[in-house]
Amino acid sequence: MHHEMSFADRMSTVEFDVGDRPHITVDTEVCRSCTTRACVPACPAKLFVPTDDGGILFNYEQCFECGTCYQLCNSAGAITWTYPDGGHGVVFRKG
């Protein structure tokens, strides 16, 4: 027999596909001395948020995994990139 779920029941079964292990981590101590803050305007998901005290807040859960921040921040060394579980991460190209 076909059973129609209510919206609430249906939502309670939705699993948002957010890995437990962040594929990207940001050492916000490094961000404190960053002069470019290049990640802030560059992130299409607007995940880097400057705080009033000169820090950066970062939340990986909405990340598109585009890799833009990592490319821009490479020299600063604040961002560590780990391929997501399942191996569907960004593939960086050279050149």
The CA-based dihedral angle spanning residues 77, 82, 88, 92, taken in that order and rounded to the nearest 10 degrees = 30
Token output for 29: 């101590």
Q: How far is the CB of 54 from ligand SF4 (least distance, A)?
A: 10
Residue whose entry in the numeric block shows the structure tokens 């957010």? 18
Residue 36 identity (one-letter amino acid): T
Based on the shown chain and the rule CB under 6 A, indicate whether residue 36 belongs to the binding site for ligand SF4: yes
Contact 81, 72 (CB under 8 A): no
Q: Which of 14, 21, 25, 26 binds ligand SF4 (CB under 6 A)?
A: 26
What single DSSP character describes residue 21? S
Q: Which of 64, 80, 82, 85 binds ligand SF4 (CB under 6 A)?
A: 64
Pick 12 or 33: Cβ nearer ligand SF4: 33
What residue ranges bind ligand SF4 (CB under 6 A)? Answer: 24, 26, 30-31, 34, 36-39, 42-45, 47-48, 56, 63-69, 72-73, 76, 78-79
